[in-house]
Chains A and B, each alone.
Chain A
Amino acid sequence: MAHYKYEPFDYVTPPEVAGGETRQYQVAIIGAGPIGLAAAIDLALHDVPTVVVDDNNVVSVGSRAICWSKRTLEIFDRLGVGERMLEKGVTWKVGRLFHRDHEVYNFDLLPEDGHKMPAFINLQQYYVEQYLVERAREFPDLIDLRFKNKVIAQDLADDGVTLQIETPDGPYSLRADYVIACDGAGSPTRHRMGLRFDGHTFHEQFLIADVDMPESPFKTEHPERWFWFDPPFHNGQSALLHKQPDNIYRIDLQLGPDADAEEEKKEVNVLPRIRAMVGDKPFTLDWVSVYKFTCARLERFVHGRMIFAGDSAHVVSPFGARGGNGGIQDTDNLCWKLAMIIKGDASDALLETYDQERRHGSDENLLNSSRATNFMTPKSQMEAIFRNETLILAETMPFARKLVNSGRLSEPCSLTGHDLQTPAEPDPAGLDPGMSCPDAPVLNQGKESWLLDHLGGRFVLLTIGDVALPDSPVEIDHLSVTTRGSDAGTLEDHRQFVADRYGDVTAYLIRPDQHIAARFEGAVSAAALNEALKRARGQQS
């Protein structure tokens, strides 16, 4: 299988440099990584034009992120690229955990039926970025993608930001009402603004390699995630094996804190390590890197008109796949809010809720990634003893399996308890405000469809079963799901998944990012709906 072909994106002289018409932009995005691109597409879907500047002109070199979670796929689906990613990606559900030379246990990630998207797919970051760029290009009037445009300075004012940008044809400045800094883990914007990025760097080093291997190393037909503690082929360390499309396998090998990164990266040293792991199957190296991981975040993500999202705002170790997946949840949370502000439907106060909600999401990711990294890299003899005995117990005792931590895989973040949500009494049959909407199969005028295809992008009143509707009209889209359903605007819950997951005779106010803002039992009054809607739009504190 041919290796991925990096096609450089065209550089076009920006109008500011060419002497053509220049304009003031509503939103400028620094960085065309997965997060910046997702933000541009999301804003375009809200009719908000953006200019995206990136200092580079190719997609991510080397695979980097490979595991994309169900929630990310649902967001990508709303952006119009989810199905393409799903089709190309490798779907996996089963993980196996090995200790030394034997399997300790295995798990199935998505045992329940009735979701459009699987728990996870593996897809190289370069494909994700390529698909996002191609999708962005479907909005030529709304997304102005500028490669080889490097931001070198920013000047923040109360009503906007001026960026200084360098291009092969010379410098120019660009003014935008809002700037989203998606310039990655080393964020030059963050550095220039002198913002603290507090956290913890782990001393442990990891060799990360992508290997092109036609013959599967897995014993089963379906690709899986295999993780080893102290395997015979890599004594005392941990190892991870994952399949990506095009017969590329991701291999992570823990190297310890004292390894010489430059030496370890050399092919002569990498090949024997991989051979020890996969045996004498033919393979070639596609990409190799040695990493140390940091878990850190900005104190605040919003600084006046400068907004941080993705790795520029927070970084995590990759165990749990929470970096890219966390960043995509940032833009999902941010873009509808920013669009409302730009259209004059909300004040800057709504941005504060992005800061609040995503700092919470980021803390969850930092906590989980740090704990996984700690479990993998015992700092003392006693930590090593506890880990070892946990692994021994896990062979026979189910409770101990829950303690084994080879990464707590990214889950949708719950926003319960934050300002925009109307609190509700916990209800075991329903979903709490703040949760992201679970998917479910439905029939739309007789045709197979998915609930999430009908939510998102706008506020929706979702009613399930015979809910008494508002006594006076409220300006909001209404989506009704019933077990009969068939008329336009009504979905049929033909397999009862919606009622099972959401409760029957219940109504919800759904945010544009498919999170639940409020729940109503049995009936929705206009007053209650208006109140919840006002609150969810940040128009009341």
Chain B
Amino acid sequence: MTNGSTMHLDDRLGADGDDFYHHLMEAHEGLSLEQSQNLNARLVLIMANQIGDIDILKSVLTAAVEAGR
């Protein structure tokens, strides 16, 4: 990783963790699986732009892929 940017695997949301999870579920509420897939795609794209650092994005992608193995 360059630019001193790091991917965080330790907790960063703290007390807001439950809150975030709740909002994420709420966003998907009442959606069909297909609609949820679409929402998730939009979320990934917007979040990627928010992160805005290709090195972090690459490690996030790798981490997600590895964790699912």
Contacts and interface: CB of A to CB of B under 8 A. Distances in A.
A193 interface: no
**Interface majority SS on B: helix, strand, loop or mixed?**
helix
Nearest to A400: B45
A386 B46 CA distance: 12
Interface stretch (A90-98, A391-399, A409-417, A435-443): A391-399
B42 interface: yes
B59 interface: no
14 contacts: A382-B37, A385-B38, A385-B41, A386-B41, A388-B38, A389-B38, A389-B41, A392-B42, A393-B42, A393-B45, A399-B49, A400-B45, A400-B49, A403-B45
Contacts of B38: 385, 388-389
Contacts of A385: 37-38, 41
Interface string B41-60: 11011100100000000000
Interface size class on chain A is 10 to 19
A220 to B, nearest CB: 31
Interface residues of B, number: 8
Contacts of B42: 389, 392-393
Interface in B17-69: 37-38, 41-42, 44-46, 49
A385 B41 CA distance: 7
Which of A388, A390, A399 has the most CB atoms of chain B within a 10 A radius of its CB?
A399
Contacts of A403: 45
A382 B34 CA distance: 11
Contacts of A397: 46, 49
Q: Which 6 A-B pairs have the closest CB atoms?
A: A389-B41, A399-B49, A389-B42, A386-B41, A385-B41, A389-B38
Interface in A425-440: none
A495 to B, nearest CB: 36
Interface of B: 37-38, 41-42, 44-46, 49
Nearest to B49: A399
A400 B44 CA distance: 12
B46 A393 contact: yes
Given A386-B44, A390-B45, A397-B46, 13 more contacts: A382-B37, A385-B37, A385-B38, A386-B41, A386-B45, A388-B41, A389-B38, A389-B41, A393-B42, A393-B46, A400-B45, A400-B49, A403-B45
Contacts of B46: 393, 397
A397 to B, nearest CB: 7
A389 B47 CA distance: 13
Interface in A374-389: 382, 385-386, 388-389
A390 B46 CA distance: 9
B36 to A, nearest CB: 11
Nearest to A392: B42
Nearest to A399: B49
A415 B38 CA distance: 41
A397 B41 CA distance: 15
Contacts of A392: 42
B47 to A, nearest CB: 11
Interface string A186-197: 000000000000
Interface string A226-268: 0000000000000000000000000000000000000000000
Contacts of B41: 385-386, 388-389
A537 to B, nearest CB: 35
B25 to A, nearest CB: 20
A193 to B, nearest CB: 39
A393 B28 CA distance: 18
A61 to B, nearest CB: 44
Contacts of A388: 38, 41
Contacts of A400: 45, 49
A400 B41 CA distance: 12
A397 B42 CA distance: 11
A392 B35 CA distance: 13
A420 B18 CA distance: 58
Which of B37, B38, B42, B46 has the most CB atoms of chain A within a 10 A radius of its CB?
B42
B57 to A, nearest CB: 13
A388 B45 CA distance: 12
Contacts of B45: 386, 389-390, 393, 400, 403
Contacts of A390: 45
B53 to A, nearest CB: 14
A389 B42 CA distance: 6
Contacts of A399: 49
B64 to A, nearest CB: 14
B44 to A, nearest CB: 8
A382 B41 CA distance: 9
Contacts of A382: 37
Contacts of B44: 386
A311 B41 CA distance: 38
A114 B46 CA distance: 36
Nearest to B34: A385
A397 B44 CA distance: 14
A229 to B, nearest CB: 15
A260 B32 CA distance: 36
